[in-house]
Amino acid sequence: MGFLSQVENVLQIDMMLFLVAGVLYGLIIGILPGLGGSIAMALLIPLTFNLTPEQAIVLLISAYGASNFGGSLTSILINTPGDASNAATAFDGFPLAKKGKAGMAIAAAMVASALGGLIGLIVLDLMIPVARKLILAFSYPEFFMLAIFGLTIIAVVTTGSLFKGLISGLIGLMFAYIGTDPIMGSDRFTFGMDYLWDGIPLLAVIIGMFGITEAFSLFTQNTAIAHDVQVKKGGTWLGIKSVFQNFWLFLRSCFIGIYLGMIPGVGGTVASFMAYGTAVQMAKDKEKFGKGAIEGVIAVEAANDSKEGGNLLPTLAFGIPGGASMAVLIGGLMIHGLTPGPDMLTNNLDITYFLIAAAIVGKIVAMLIGLLLGPKLVFVTKIRGSIMAPAIITVSLVGAYGTDGKFGDIMVALLFGLIGYYMVKYGYSRIALIIALVLGKLMESSYHQTMATFGPEGFVTRPIALTLVILTITSLVWHFIKKIKKKNQIKGELAA
């Protein structure tokens, strides 16, 4: 636990000022849909030119850490995720808000985030000696099997008609293949539009399918989000408690986050969906998910923040960014003459521990602020639909535009808002579509990469890949056996 020696250096008055400023700034950036950690840091970097490297680290890392908290707030309250990795928070967080339990959901999200982040960073600290070996153990066959394992989650998370769930997933895959083909890098299914070269922007789709779809239905029903229930006060304590009541789920999700965050090219969005999927899979009562299960919120938020620890690992060990935000952080550190890479684990180990310490203190401050302010925002769930709907649409579209400043993203968000509206109406699964959209590319590219390097035997001759194959098969078989058993049971009861 080398970072402990650096905690006192973070707890200096000037450092703490930067830290609190960074946290507040990160929270607000996070609340705006579409703007996440990488943009929060990118906007700050020019300001750090005149700071010492330590001050810069504190400012950047605390803003980055806090942006995630903000993102979960909007997911829960208005079904509009702040960032792609917060999307899965909305699956159960928003239904909870509808039941009047937004306060509880927010508190659970904050605590799960903060503790998840802490565990991620502590594990990072412990893994530093073996970091390089661990990262090199993952190659294309493992990526492919991870994607496949993720896709099987569709079967598990779709409630109701499995057939409709599969259709939704296949539509998601079709959208995933628009853009650049992963084998050669040439464009396909772009209808001659430059805009589509980089594929359908995931974030705009998520903002559309959740935020805008929600606004449409609020508008047509003209009711408040939590309309026919009493919004419960004092949910904060219940929320905090729920994390500890589901501690194993929480811990499991943390490790999913750390492992997936560690692998460059897999990324944080996948981590949060996987955590959600396994939470559903391992739960006794699967039916409650998607209708407001606090476990869904805890799993996603824990994975979401613990993945930061994982993300930092390749960044520090190789100088290879674990995700988009880490690429920005590397840029920010290089301006201060700190080149992330093996040097950070040998000559600059103090700075590395300082960074971890700053991230940990930042998380704690963000949690306190979040717990203090978050539950106060619950009032938005009682506002009339005709007022809320236009507000959600505005915020959503600004967010869709703000990510890359592309007008096309607004059109995509609106289009998917409509698609989402009809999917809900006719009982198709939005979650399945999004999971397929997230994993489609990874699955395709890693398949071709495996074929080019290891050949088909790569899937079964490498221990990690083989483990994933077995896990995938068992989880699917188990799922169907249970379903059949349940059917027979019902039949039996009917016969009796």
Partner 1 sequence: MRKTTKILLNVLLVFTFGLTAAGCSSQSTPDKVDSASTYPERNIELVVGYKPGGGFNEWAQAIAPFIEKHLPNKVNVTVRNMPGAGGVIATSHIQKAKPDGYTIGLYDVNGLAPTQLARPDSFDLKKVSWLGTVAVDNNVGSVQAKGTNTAENMLKQEKPKYIVSTRGLASNDSIVGAISLTEMGVKWEPLNHEATSEAVLSVIRGDADILFGSYESQQKYIESGDLKPAIWFGTERNPKYPDVPIPSELGHPEFDQIFDTYKMIGAPPGLPKDVSATLEEAIQKAMDDPEFHKVLDKMDRTPSYLNAKETEERVEKLLNDYSQYTDIVKNLFDKGE
| Closest distance to partner 1 from the beta carbon of 409 (Å) | 11
Count of beta carbons in the 10 Å neighbourhood of residue 426: 8
Contacts of residue 395, defined as CB under 8 A and 6 or more positions apart, other chains included, come to: 32, 33, 74, 78, 80, 211
| Closest distance to partner 1 from the beta carbon of 290 (Å) | 31
Q: What angle do CA 160, 165, 166 make, to 5 degrees?
A: 140
Piece of the chain touching partner 1 by CB under 8 A; list 69-77, 228-236, 311-319, 469-477: 311-319
Which listed residue (159, 182, 223, 281) binds partner 1 by CB under 8 A?
182
CB 186 within 8 A of CB 378: no
Count of beta carbons in the 10 Å neighbourhood of residue 394: 11
Piece of the chain touching partner 1 by CB under 8 A; list 87-95, 100-108, 273-281, 328-336: 328-336
Buried b or exposed e, range 110-147, using 16+ CB within 10 angstroms: bbbbbbbbbbbbbbbbebbeebeebbeebbbbbbbbbb
Q: Is 321 in the site for partner 1 (CB under 8 A)?
A: yes
Q: Is 232 in the site for partner 1 (CB under 8 A)?
A: no
Q: What is the 3-state secondary structure (H, E, C) of 336-404?
A: CCCCCCHHHHCCCHHHHHHHHHHHHHHHHHHHHHHHHHHHHHHHHHHCCHHHHHHHHHHHHHHHHHHHH
For residues 38 and 128, what is the distance between their CA atoms, to the nearest angstrom? 24
Which listed residue (11, 126, 130, 183) binds partner 1 by CB under 8 A?
183
Q: What is the 3-state secondary structure (H, E, C) of 1-58?
A: CCCHHHHHHHCCHHHHHHHHHHHHHHHHHHHCCCCCHHHHHHHHHHHHHHCCHHHHHH
Pick the closer one to partner 1 by CB: 169 or 314: 314
Pick the closer one to partner 1 by CB: 2 or 319: 319
Residues within window 381-410 making contact with partner 1, judged by CB under 8 A: 398, 401-402, 404-406
Which listed residue (7, 122, 166, 181) binds partner 1 by CB under 8 A?
181
For residues 488 and 260, what is the distance between their CA atoms, to the nearest angstrom? 38
Count of beta carbons in the 10 Å neighbourhood of residue 291: 14
Pick the closer one to partner 1 by CB: 234 or 390: 390
Q: Is 140 in the site for partner 1 (CB under 8 A)?
A: yes
Q: Is 11 in the site for partner 1 (CB under 8 A)?
A: no
Residues within window 196-225 making contact with partner 1, judged by CB under 8 A: 197-198
40: left (phi over 0), alpha (psi -120 to 50) or beta: alpha
209 DSSP assignment:
I
29-48 footprint of partner 1 as x/- string (CB under 8 A): x--x--x--xx--xxxxxx-
Pick the closer one to partner 1 by CB: 264 or 375: 264
CB 91 within 8 A of CB 210: no
Piece of the chain touching partner 1 by CB under 8 A; list 269-277, 291-299, 365-373, 441-449: 441-449
Query: What are the two backbone dihedrals, phi and then psi, of residue 180, each rounded to the nearest 5 degrees?
Result: -95, 135
* Residues in binding contact with partner 1, number by CB under 8 A: 71
Pick the closer one to partner 1 by CB: 45 or 377: 45
Pick the closer one to partner 1 by CB: 46 or 234: 46
Which listed residue (3, 18, 353, 428) binds partner 1 by CB under 8 A?
18
Residues within window 54-83 making contact with partner 1, judged by CB under 8 A: 55, 59
| Closest distance to partner 1 from the beta carbon of 479 (Å) | 31
In the block, tokens 């059917």 appear at: 487
Which listed residue (3, 144, 216, 318) binds partner 1 by CB under 8 A?
318
Piece of the chain touching partner 1 by CB under 8 A; list 1-9, 183-191, 376-384, 474-482: 183-191
Piece of the chain touching partner 1 by CB under 8 A; list 20-28, 205-213, 254-262, 428-436: 20-28
Piece of the chain touching partner 1 by CB under 8 A; list 288-296, 314-322, 363-371, 472-480: 314-322
